[in-house]
Amino acid sequence: MSELRIDIRVTGDERGATRWAAVEPRGSPVGTALLLPPAPSPEAGPSPAAASPTEPAAASPTEPAAELNLYVRPVARRRGVGSRLLAAVRAQAGERRLVVDVIAGTAGDAFCRRHGLRLLRSGRRERLLYGDVHLAWLGELVDAEHPAYRLARWTGEVSPAFRVGDLLRTPSGPGNAILVAATASGTSPDDGAEVAAYALAVVGDQAQPDAHQYGPVVSRGHDEQDLGRWTSAALVQYLREVQPAIERIETVTAGHDRRLPALRHLGFQPVRHVHRYEIPYGHSTSTPRKDFAE
């Protein structure tokens, strides 16, 4: 097919995200690209085996990555729309790393390979629908006694290299991040409490009623399954309170993910296999063959 004649228009929003729209001369959008600023993630935050989640995230040797969401309407695919959107994103991103999650075996997966993106990892996207959660049962999980710990909650904005303890000492405010942590009993966040475990959710694009969960993360020396279930249940409950429009929570897991028992206990179910690709900073994507351009 011949290339489609389009204009690329760019806008921003209050979250620091940038959006591009590929628009036909008649004004109809045929594709979009959304670039979200770096968010906390398993590769840019304390790992489950970290000595303490209160320490800064320094496990990854690479800088935090901005997340790219790119979509082209089926009728406009293989006509250069996706390639031009990706080029526009790269031109503005400069030296920042970009990552993109795509469903394995789809047109988006093939698009990433053709453009020279590097496969970082494969995993499963797990989803919890609020309609499937028995809220009374959830409340019982959250209210169960854990004598050695107590829950702390926080909302606001977080940076990729965040310290959980520092966030808990900061007053809650508006933002797209919701944090629940289990701290050692007898201490308070203001006193520099030991954070034994935490779970974090980041609310996505306002046009999509969902949130992405990071964690639970449990420090070495604590009951991983018990605290993982507890903090995850409390996060699901608290997220419902502060973001009632949210309909589902998603997370990505690996094959032997230590979080799986806690997530499955709450009702998370695998919905698809996903691939995460990276465009390293300073890397220009290869030019795809003309007959395969999207």
- Written as one letter, the residue type at 176 is N
- The whole model's pTM is what? 0.71
DSSP string, 235-273: HHHHHHHH-TT--EEEEEE-TT-TTHHHHHHHT-EEEEE
Element (H, E) at 8: strand 7-12
Buried b (16+ CB within 10 A) or exposed e, 40-58: bbbbbbbebebeebbeebe
Q: Are 247 and 131 in contact (CB under 8 A)?
A: yes
Three-state DSSP state, 1: coil
Tens-binned pLDDT, residue by residue, of the chain (294 aa) = 678 888 999 886 655 578 899 999 988 899 999 887 765 543 333 333 333 333 333 333 345 678 888 999 998 988 899 999 999 998 888 777 889 989 999 999 999 999 989 998 899 999 999 989 999 999 999 999 998 899 999 999 877 667 888 888 899 998 888 999 999 876 555 566 788 999 999 886 555 668 999 889 998 888 878 999 999 999 999 999 999 989 999 998 887 788 888 999 999 999 999 999 998 655 444 443 332 223
